[in-house]
Amino acid sequence: MSSLQDRSRQFLWHPCTQMKHLEAQPPLAIVRGEGPWLIDEAGKRYLDAISSWWVNLFGHANPRINAAITDQLSKIEHVMLAGCTHEPVVQLSERLARLAGLGHAFYGSDGAAATEIALKMSFHFWRNRGKPGKCNFISLQNGYHGETVGALSVTDVALFKDQYAPLLRQSAQMPSPDFRLAEAGETAEAFALRCADALEAHLQQHADSIAAFILEPLVQGAAGMAMYSPAYLARARELCTRYGVHLIADEIAVGFGRTGTLFACEQAGVKADFMCLSKGISGGYLPLSCVLTTDEVYAAFYADETARGFLHSHSYTGNPLACRAALAVLDIFEADGVLEANRKKAETFGALLEPIRHHPRVRHFRNRGMIWAFDVAGAAPGFARAFAEGALAQGVLLRPIGAAVYFMPPYVMEEAHMEQMARATQTLLDTID
């Protein structure tokens, strides 16, 4: 273990980690990044095949994003957003409004904060409209919306949630349209609609006490990249409208091109009442999250009375450096025709993964946009960690979720990178139990 790894174990508490496991698997000590590469103390290069926990879009140390942040740094690094405003946050809000069709942007720093904001805003909307009894939330089975106490209440991942159960608000989970759960011979769409029927049955009974339904559109990331038919989203939108319940689209992981369209909701022609954004929004550079909402929601808070307003705040709300990074990201999307270029990259990578799709241990091979995943049959209990370790030895950073192996590469990956990921995976499937 190097000195940096050792000091890290002594003085840091790493996220989502049993610290004792670091005795056997010390953290990668990264000193530099370059495009899709992470470079450690010894100069060894690792392909960042999961975009540093799904945040990076255009590579590390991207010159254009670097330039935008550097430029902003010499103007104003930060100013509070209560009673002050600035060009980067206004411009970003204008552009997001045009892109998402939701005209009011409230900012936070992390994804979980965006979830909290959306939940509180939805509840407060109904209260301002004379329906204070609408104070419950529903979400999808195996859904993930962050790990602060409010967000964890609508998250449904036992490993993250069970220890904290006594702290959490009750929320009901609707059947997940994850197509792996479909019956033999049932299409993803038919299964999605069957799940939507269960949603309707729940709404019929409980809509009076429900403020909002929160879901991850098209791909449930932390569930192991569970994918489902857009038909579910379209139907959920109809049902939420019919039963007077807000739809919160948590696009924290799937937004910004991840599923092939700028926002995943577009694939179902759906506009949510709230859209939560984070992760890729700043290209993986700086913590920034945003909740976009409708004129209708905004109007319910607009009054002379202070307490009718949304009196929520975070110190770093709308940080100018983070907003400049986000603006640079949107510029790159436009200037480089990223969505179109990604379609070609996805085709190439898909073709390279064909042998893996047909590997005898691979089940439910799936892809949407720039996310690929499959489940591994006969995975031993320590599979995820052993696979991750084996991948590092081959210069690829991968972190399976249980028996689900996935790729969520930065959009700057080229064919040689794809070949390396495919090759490493093939070897690991043949050697890791």
Ligand X SMILES: *Cc1c(COP(=O)(O)O)cnc(C)c1O
**Which positions from 71 to 110 touch ligand X by CB under 6 A, shown as an x/- string?**
---------------------------------------x
Q: Where are the extended beta strands (E) located within 234-335? A: 246-250, 274-277, 289-293
Binding piece for ligand X, criterion CB under 6 A, among 81-89, 142-150, 228-236, 406-414: 142-150
User: CA–CA distance from 111 to each of 22, 145, 186, 235, 255 (Å)?
Assistant: 26, 8, 34, 26, 12
**Closest listed residue to residue 382, CA positions, set 144, 25, 142:** 25
CB of 120 to ligand X, least distance (A): 15
Residue 77 Cβ, how far from ligand X at the closest point, in Å? 21
Helices 415-431, 338-352: inter-axial angle, 10-degree rounding: 40
Beta bridge partners of 372: 367, 407
Shortest reach from residue 303's CB to ligand X, in Å: 31
Nearer to ligand X, 207 or 398 (CB): 398
The answer to the question of residue 284 lying near ligand X (CB under 6 A) is no
Stretch that binds ligand X, among 77-85, 138-146, 327-335, 424-432 (CB under 6 A): 138-146
Q: Are 231 and 223 in contact (CB under 8 A)?
A: no
Contact window for ligand X (CB under 6 A) among 141-149, 256-264, 266-274, 374-382: 141-149
Which span sits near ligand X by CB under 6 A: 139-147, 185-193, 231-239, 396-404?
A: 139-147
Stretch that binds ligand X, among 124-132, 249-257, 267-275, 315-323 (CB under 6 A): 249-257
Distance, CA of 420 to CA of 393 (rounded, Å): 12
Pick between residue 116 and residue 200 the one whose CB is nearest to ligand X: 116
Find all residues with CB under 8 Å of 205, minimum gap 6, and list them.
none
Residue 417 is a binding residue for ligand X (CB under 6 A)? no
Residue 241 C-beta-side C-alpha neighbours within 13 Å: 10
Return the exposure string of 60-69: e unless at least 16 CB atoms fall within 10 Å of the residue's CB, then b. bebeebeebb
Judged by CB under 6 A, the residue of 47, 81, 92, 112 near ligand X is 112
Q: How far is CA 118 from the centre of its chain?
A: 15
- The minimum distance between CB 370 and ligand X, in angstroms, equals 14
Helix (H) or strand (E) holding 153: helix 149-154
Residue 379 engages ligand X in binding (rule: CB under 6 A): no
Alpha carbon of residue 236 to chain centroid: 20
Go through 380-403 and write b for each residue having 16 or more CB atoms within 10 A of its CB, e for each that does not.
Answer: eeebbebbbebbbebebbbbbbeb
Footprint of ligand X on 326-345 (CB under 6 A): none
Instruction: Tell which one of 60, 124, 145, 246 touches ligand X (CB under 6 A).
Output: 145
Between helix 230-243 and helix 188-206 the angle, nearest 10°, is 20
Query: Which of 113, 69, 54, 154 has the alpha carbon at shortest distance from 290?
Result: 113
Q: One-letter amino acid identity for 125?
A: F
Residue from 221, 257, 280, 410 touching ligand X (CB under 6 A): that is 221
Count interface residues toward ligand X (CB under 6 A): 13
Stretch binding ligand X (CB under 6 A), from 100-108, 247-255, 369-377, 420-428: 247-255
Asked if 216 interacts with ligand X (CB under 6 A), we say: yes
If one asks whether residue 156 binds ligand X (CB under 6 A), the answer comes out as no
Rg of the chain, C-alpha, whole Å: 22
Among the listed residues 69, 96, 253, 292, the single contact to ligand X using CB under 6 A: 253
The residue within the footprint of ligand X, chosen from 33, 88, 111, 409 (CB under 6 A), is: 111
- The minimum distance between CB 125 and ligand X, in angstroms, equals 21
Site residues for ligand X per CB under 6 A: 110-112, 115, 144-146, 216, 221, 250, 252-253, 278
